[in-house]
Amino acid sequence: MMIKKEIISRNPLLNLGFENEYILQSGGLGAVLAHAGVGKTALLVQMALHAMMNEQPVLHVSLNDAVSKVDIWYRELFHDMASKNDSAEITEYWENILNYRFIMTFRVEGFSVPKLEERLTDLMQQNIFKPYAVILDGLKFDESGRGLLLELKELAKKYAMRIWFTVHTHRHEPPREDGLPFSFLHVADLFDVLVQLSSEGPEVYIKALKGQSPGAKKDALLLDPATMLIKA
């Protein structure tokens, strides 16, 4: 279908020079780093939509937002990406790919890896949902030590998943030369792919900090701050 072909061709990270179509290998961890309000969740939702298009189930775990708010992210981004197509076709395709998404919410203080695994195994044992990829949105890295991430890495390996995180960086904290904030250095080695979103004036750039293929042709991509889609 034209919708699928058109949207898959706009995979943001594939255009940035990551070799693997789904960017992360099984058991891998990836993260999008940015200041508040720059578009971390929007970028990961866009990546999730690419996986869903390829019939790869995505579990979206939110520690901040209600299911309805997360659903709006998906709905609006999908419609922005597919806007050139017939509305009836868009609606039909949207209904089809929803089978490949499951949204789960936790209160920040109530989140733990054993609780996540318990809810995950409930879904899998009843043949309701088995995720190919997980998005974990809202984890506070400056408060979480390596232990939690090591547990999540083990969980990813155990169930042959890959996990993406949003990482909130602080405006008052200048990054190192490699773009990584000092408050993230204690866990940076656990990640296979790191991507940074940065606003420079009215523009938003996406830059690869770790995991990009050596022969990548692009150092950064320009995003439309209104839609978070790549500018042609």
Sorted by where each starts, the structural domains of the chain and their CATH numbers stand as 2-223 (3.40.50.300)
Segments of the chain scoring below 70 in pLDDT: 1, 8-22, 142-144, 175, 177, 213-219, 231-232
Closest CA to 59 of 107, 106, 7, 4: 106
Asked if 35 and 175 touch (Cβ cutoff 8 Å), the reply is no
What beta strand segments (E) does 67-211 contain?
101-105, 133-137, 162-168, 193-200, 203-210
Residue 93 to residue 74: CA distance in whole angstroms: 13
- Model-level pTM? 0.90
Distance between first and last Cα of the chain: 22
Instruction: Supply the pLDDT for residue 199.
Output: 84
Sheet holding 58-62, edge to edge: 101-105, 58-62, 133-137, 162-168, 29-34, 193-200, 203-210, 220-223
Q: CA-CA distance, 35 to 42, in Å (whole number)? A: 13
Please give the DSSP secondary-structure letter assigned to residue 183: G
What phi and psi values does residue 158 have, to the nearest 5 degrees?
-60, -40
Q: Residues 164, 135: contact at Cβ < 8 Å?
A: yes
Task: Quote the longest CA-to-CA distance of the chain.
Answer: 49
Identify the residue whose tokens are 């500018």. 231
Query: What pLDDT was estimated at residue 1?
Result: 63
Average pLDDT value over all residues in the chain: 85
Structure tokens at 15: 């255009």
Torsion of CA 47, 33, 134, 57, to 10 degrees: 0
